[in-house]
Amino acid sequence: MTNDSDGMRLALEQAAKSLLIATPNPRVGCVIVRNGEILAEGHTHAPGEPHAEADALRNAAAAGKDVRGATAYVTLEPCSHHGRTPPCADAFIAAGIARVVIATLDSNPLVAGAGVSRLKQAGIEVVTGVLEAEAREINIGFFSRMERGRPWVRMKIAASLDGGTALLNGSSQWITSEAAREDGHAWRAQSCAILTGIGTVVQDNPQMNVRAIPTSRQPRRIVIDSKLQINPESKILAGGGTWIFAAQSDAKHIARLQDQGAEVILLPDANGKVDLPEVMRELGRREINELHVEAGYKLNGSLLKNGCVDELLIYLAPCLLGESFGMANLSTLIDLADRTQFTFHEFKQIGADLRLRARDISSPLTSSSGK
Report the candidate in 219, 133, 190 with the shortest Cα–Cα distance to residue 18.
Answer: 190
List residues with catalytic annotation.
Answer: 53
Backbone Cα Rg of the chain = 22
Burial 150-173 (b: 16+ CB within 10 A, else e): bbbbbbbbbbbeebbbbeeeeebe
Distances (CA, A) of 257 to 112, 230, 239, 249, 266: 40, 9, 12, 12, 14
Q: How far apart are CA 101 and CA 135, in angstroms?
A: 12
The vertex-142 CA angle with 282 and 194, nearest 5°, equals 55
Report the candidate in 146, 138, 152 with the shortest Cα–Cα distance to residue 291.
Answer: 152
pLDDT above 70 covers a percentage of the chain that reads 96
More confident position, 289 or 339: 289
pLDDT of 370 over the 70 cut: no
Conformation bin of residue 258: beta by default, left when phi > 0, alpha when psi is -120 to 50: alpha
Q: How far apart are CA 242 and CA 257, in angstroms?
A: 9
Q: How far apart are CA 304 and CA 360, in angstroms?
A: 10
Phi and psi of 280, rounded to 5°? -65, -40
Q: Where are the beta strands (DSSP E) in 103-151?
A: 125-128
Mean pLDDT of the region 120-127: 92
Element (H, E) at 187: helix 178-190
Using one digit for the tens of pLDDT, what is the confidence trace for 309-365?
Answer: 999 999 999 999 888 888 888 888 888 888 888 999 999 999 999 999 999 988 878
pLDDT of 371 over the 50 cut: no
| Biggest CA pair distance of the chain | 69
Bridge partners, 73 (sequence order): 31, 101
14 close to 40: Cβ distance less than 8 angstroms: no
> In a 3-state reduction of DSSP, which class is residue 47?
coil
Using one digit for the tens of pLDDT, what is the confidence trace for 158-187?
Answer: 999 998 888 888 777 788 999 999 999 999
Using one digit for the tens of pLDDT, what is the confidence trace for 180-232?
Answer: 999 999 999 999 999 999 999 998 899 999 998 889 899 999 999 999 999 99
128 close to 120: Cβ distance less than 8 angstroms: no
Tell me the pTM: 0.92
pLDDT of 21 over the 60 cut: yes
Q: How far apart are CA 37 and CA 29, in angstroms?
A: 17
